[in-house]
Amino acid sequence: MAATKRKRRGDLGVKAKKPKKNEKDATPPAKRRNTAEETKEEERDRIPGPVCKVKRAIPRLDLQPLLRGKWKNKERILIFSSRGINFRTRHLMQDLRMLMPHSKADTKMDRKDKLFVINEVCEMKNCNKCIYFEAKKKQDLYMWLSNSPHGPSAKFLVQNIHTLAELKMTGNCLKGSRPLLSFDPTFDELPHYALLKELLIQIFSTPRYHPKSQPFVDHVFTFTILDNRIWFRNFQIIEEDAALVEIGPRFVLNLIKIFRGSFGGPTLYENPHYQSPNMHRRIIRSITAAKYKEKQQVKDVQKLRKKEPKTVVPHDPTADVFVTPAEEKPVEIQWVKPEPKVDLTTRKKRIYKRQRKMKQKM
């Protein structure tokens, strides 16, 4: 239909002829064709820009308020454990993950693997801090706090664990809210405690403007030093009177060693007051064994005393001064059993019975 033209009368006309072009225009070069096709494709593939654009005339100083809410502190903490932990350790680990929105989880690590493998796991998970729970003998729990991959790292023995579900405290806080960190003044007195303070700040403080965090501060993490141990508590801040109500969990950290590297390396500090749980159990067993031996010795002494013959005491003549001779002793009196008392009521009844029987015979 496009090749033929129809006249007004309705008859078919002659085929329409296109005007001839010059030979130069009829055969354009290949480069021009390619450039024209590329421009058309670029126009098709072009994505429309945003509706609102920042004007170029605005200076850089005016853009600073737009960047204030930016997430700059990219601290990420990996929290996981080894195999063989009990239910209480698992609940404590879940509580810490809930209280720390900038944390990440991972599967349990095999006991055969060495500790420096954790640095590779942190690198894969894009984490620069790590909290690792190591279980031994299904009763001892150790905690590693490490700055991956360069260090330092600290190893603790975890004692007196009480989880959120176990305590059932009245305090409560918003999930994902940022905590305040309160430290004992003794953290600033000794150098190894100052190092631990900085490590705890970097691990437990939630970064500002973190995507999973809430813009509220409604609870406090307290780290106090007592009896050469670090005691952890979590309190709610009440707005009305600024009082503190405990939330949980609770645990005590007994420092063992501080290493220069991550999960190893030269030791920077070793706790002289630390006593291993194996040594503690050994002392308790030795005390109980000593008590048992003492009881057995007392029993043996008592048996020997019973078997020994009784010592004969020599006769004392003064003991017979007040003794009366056998001739002067009174004769033993034979006691006679008295007759039973007669009941008058029963006697009268018997008489009446006899009289009745006599009357019946008559």
Q: How far apart are CA 343 and CA 279, in angstroms?
A: 86
Classify residue 159 by burial, with Cβ atoms within 10 Å: 0-12, 13-18, 19+: middle
Evaluate whether residue 106 is within a structural domain: yes
Q: Which of 189, 90, 74, 202 is nearest to 146 (CA)?
A: 202
Q: Is 250 helix (H, G, I), strand (E, B) or coil?
A: strand
For residue 249, whether the previous peptide bond is cis, meaning omega lies within 30 degrees of 0, is yes
Which amino acid, residue 233? R
Rg value, the chain, Cα: 50
Q: How far apart are CA 280 and CA 362, in angstroms?
A: 107
Evaluate whether residue 360 is within a structural domain: no
Structure confidence at residue 51 (pLDDT):
45
Evaluate whether residue 358 is within a structural domain: no
Evaluate whether residue 208 is within a structural domain: yes
End-to-end CA distance of the chain: 165
Copy the structure tokens of residue 238.
């009440």
Domain that residue 173 falls in: 77-278
The answer to whether the CB of 259 falls within 8 A of the CB of 176 is: no
Structure confidence at residue 348 (pLDDT):
72
State the pairing for strand pair 140-147/129-136: antiparallel
Evaluate whether residue 188 is within a structural domain: yes
- The CATH number of whichever domain residue 189 belongs to comes to 3.40.50.10480
Structure confidence at residue 186 (pLDDT):
94
Q: How far apart are CA 212 and CA 56, in angstroms?
A: 33
Mean pLDDT by groups of 10 residues along the chain of 362 residues: 49 51 50 62 59 43 48 88 94 95 93 90 94 93 94 95 91 92 95 96 92 90 96 94 92 96 94 94 95 95 86 80 72 73 73 78 74
Evaluate whether residue 297 is within a structural domain: no
State the pairing for strand pair 77-81/129-136: parallel
Structure confidence at residue 46 (pLDDT):
60
For residue 149, whether the previous peptide bond is cis, meaning omega lies within 30 degrees of 0, is yes
Structure confidence at residue 59 (pLDDT):
45
Evaluate whether residue 332 is within a structural domain: no
Structure confidence at residue 308 (pLDDT):
82
For the chain, the domain total comes to 1
Residue 145 has, within 13 A of its CA and on its CB side, a CA count of 20
Copy the structure tokens of residue 265.
């390396």
Evaluate whether residue 244 is within a structural domain: yes
Q: Name 255's Cβ contacts closer than 8 Å, sequence gap at least 6.
A: 154, 155, 156, 192, 196, 228, 229, 230, 269, 271, 274
φ and ψ at residue 228, rounded to 5 degrees:
60, 30
